[in-house]
Chain A
Amino acid sequence: MAEGGMNKNSGPLWLKKTWDKKPRVGIYSFSGCAGCQLSILDLEDELLDLFNMVDVVSFRMAIRGPGGGEGGYDVDIAFVEGSITNEHQIEELREIRAGAGFLVALGSCACFGGVQASGNHVPIDERARVVYGDTELVYRHLPSKPLSEYVQVDLEIPGCPINKYEFLEALKYLSVGRTSVIRPVPVCWECRLRENRCIFKETGEICMGPVTQGGCGALCPTFGKPCDGCRGPVDQANIPSEVSLMEEYGLDAETIERKFRIYATEGKGFKLDWKRENNSASGGGGK
């Protein structure tokens, strides 16, 4: 087990290196669209160097062999994408955790349950009936949950999909025995650095930039689209203030609730218990 792990306030930490020359890296996948793994394969210019820098011993999407390469779960660094939606996955995740020195949750499914958690307020059996009808299914479904629901996660790289350069950065840090840090600034901050015009203010289209973890470089607002909060809540996000802004723009409670329930439904702060605790949208904050 690595020491420390992600700590937003104290900067990079030294890990206990469990390797001599190159770390053994495994890339694993649960429920999701595989977009985070694909983003790794999309590092076309860096891909071959990356495979030289570390020993990628498990990567089912790219390598044929038992367990996706000879590595199985015995790795120094495990990157895990996807959310957990059934009991087999819980078992496999625990095996990965047991085998890995350092475990990184890759993308918003692994960090917050992903879009498939956006329906978690509806009982799972009811949802299954919508999709499969009344057929008896062999496997029981569970509501979509992030990895941290079941195991300790040492670093979270959010995003739908991840910013592939954040992954590369993390891998570089980790391979020399340090943790990388995702700076706790909101998308709004990065948007201003890019000198974008503020969509929220100018058009009244609801933007989640003020409360969403940055690191994407404010990509969506840069392309004329308001932030949808795919990277989950930023540390110390002022949710009540965002909610009162939404109310000012005339959104009803249902629509506001829906805005927090897209990619990061299970993200702390976006889990909107504020509706009950905090009707006037002042004080308090998210759960």
Chain B
Amino acid sequence: MKKISVEHIARVEGHGNIYVEIENGRARKVEMRVVEGSRMFEAFLRGRNYVETPEIASRVCAICSASHLIASIKAIEDAVGVQPDEQTVLLRKLAIMGETIQSHVLHIYLLALPDYLGYPSVVHMVKEHGEAVKKALEMKKLGNDMAEVVGGRAVHLITPMVGGLTYVPKKSHLHSLKKRVLDLLPWAEKTVEIFGGLENPPLERKTEYIALYDPEEFCFYGGEKTVIRSSEGWTAPINRYREYITEAVVPYSTAKFGVRNGHGFMVGALARLNLNYDHLCDEAKEAVEKTPIRFPATNPFLNNFAQAVETLHCFHESIRILDDLECMDLREKRPEMDMKKHGWGHSAVEAPRGTLYHSYLVNEKGIVEEADIITPTAQNWKNLEEDIEALVPLVSDRGYDEIQMAIEMNVRAYDPCISCSTHVTQVKKR
């Protein structure tokens, strides 16, 4: 029996551990252990006023805080009967484009790419890949600045509120943003080429893919016609998500696990491209066609490539949004947040890592009585365990380091956002 122990999963957001037992070349047990640091948002959001709820709820996660904030706002608006105006919706969409660019670029270049090129971190890559690192940081900064122009700050946006924004960006800021998007556009194209050329472990495993679908656009923010769509052929309205996306509590983890009929499913960039490729902008489709990769794709490592493709899509989409805003007379006005009704409100947005659901029960006094948040990473855990089970036989004849690396790369491909604390990862090889 050979015992191997591996330290922490590095280069992911937050901390978690994987426990894998290997026997006769097969995975005997795979457990994604998120054992620490429960913060219990659903509990402490009870008793909050509906106006203050979104900014607190957005503290679930920093990297996708804009998505959390906006999902929370949309759910509250649904509950209290408030409708945002057109400029608000466009600015929210712009913030989500910025967040998606920053989150994807951070993940694919700073967190995932060092594995493929054999470096311990992005800092170690500077000497030989200085230009790429520099441009990656520029694109990441652009994404942050895009969110900041709307939100006043990139991490935990300030201005989005129930019913509107507390501030409207100046046209000059939108102009300079657009110029920078155009300047960096060639590098967004190059990004698709770079990640389309990487060699991935040959893990082909078809699973159920789930993402929001909108008949009019490649869906992130969503609209009135947005539904939940699965690769198994079903669709469901957002306000019934709890019937379709079920969460299981497992004893070894403080994160709940998304399960459908006992099996895992995948959300995120790869799921979106597998389901909504038709709605991708033409420029991004052309870039994909220059690579050997085609969607739908079943190798989970291609989530990295899918994020690269979405980065390019978001560049083009943000240009379109900025052009629309250009034609509008942007007015500063206090958000209209007066309650028109009360009860349950539901929402979903496509956060960088996948579909994010928020729902709240608001009473007649405007106090939140119940809250429910399902994060993309929680939905992916079970599927990731199933991936690792399938991955182990492909690598079990290799040395300890290589097995560990392959498993960690598989985890990192999901871009998990654990927001929990650290433990020790152990791989036991028998």
Contact = CB atoms under 8 A, between A and B. Distances in A.
Interface of A: 29-36, 38-39, 41-42, 44-45, 47-48, 51, 56, 60-69, 82, 85-86, 88-89, 92, 114-116, 118-119, 122, 126-128, 130-133, 135-139, 141, 144, 160-161, 203, 219-220, 222-225, 228, 255, 258, 262
Contacts of A62: 10-11, 110-111, 121-123
A130 B155 contact: no
B235 interface: no
B36 interface: yes
B141 interface: yes
- The interface residues of chain A, by DSSP majority, are classed as loop
Nearest to A230: B156
Interface in B149-208: 151-156, 158-159, 161, 166-167
A45 B141 contact: yes
B35 interface: yes
A135 B161 contact: no
Contact of B120 (A64, A144, A225): A64
B38 A34 contact: no
Decide if the interface of chain B is mainly helix, strand, loop or mixed: loop
Interface in B377-430: 408, 419-423
Contacts of B13: 34, 38, 61
B46 interface: yes
Nearest to A36: B62
B249 interface: yes
Contacts of B260: none
Nearest to B58: A33
A160 B156 contact: yes
B120 A42 contact: no
A34 B419 contact: yes
B272 interface: no
For chain B, give the interface size range.
35 or more
Nearest to B115: A64
Given A122-B43, A161-B155, A161-B156, 16 more contacts: A31-B39, A33-B61, A34-B63, A41-B110, A62-B122, A63-B123, A64-B114, A64-B120, A85-B37, A89-B421, A122-B44, A203-B334, A220-B152, A223-B152, A225-B161, A258-B49
Contact of A32 (B41, B110, B332, B419): B419
Nearest to A259: B52
Contacts of B251: 135-138
B421 A34 contact: no
A255 B55 CA distance: 17
Contact of A223 (B40, B106, B114, B166): B166
B132 interface: no
Nearest to A137: B251
A65 B159 contact: no
A183 to B, nearest CB: 21
B161 A161 contact: no
Q: Which 8 A-B pairs have the closest CB atoms?
A: A119-B44, A35-B62, A224-B166, A31-B37, A223-B152, A127-B43, A116-B39, A130-B43
Interface in B248-306: 249, 251-252, 254, 256
A135 B419 CA distance: 21
Contacts of A161: 62, 155-156
B14 interface: yes
Contacts of A136: 251
Interface in B328-376: 332, 334
Contacts of B316: none
9 contacts: A34-B61, A34-B63, A85-B38, A86-B37, A88-B421, A114-B59, A115-B59, A138-B251, A258-B49
A139 B35 contact: yes
B318 interface: no
Contacts of B48: 258
Nearest to B144: A42
Given A64-B10, A130-B42, A51 B59 contact: no
A68 B158 CA distance: 32
Which of B55, B159, B421 is the most central at the interface, judged by chain A CB atoms within 10 Å of its CB?
B421
B40 A35 contact: no
A44 B49 CA distance: 36
B326 interface: no
A133 B248 CA distance: 10
Contacts of A144: 39
B324 interface: no
A44 B141 contact: yes
B321 interface: no
A29 B158 contact: no
A131 B422 contact: no
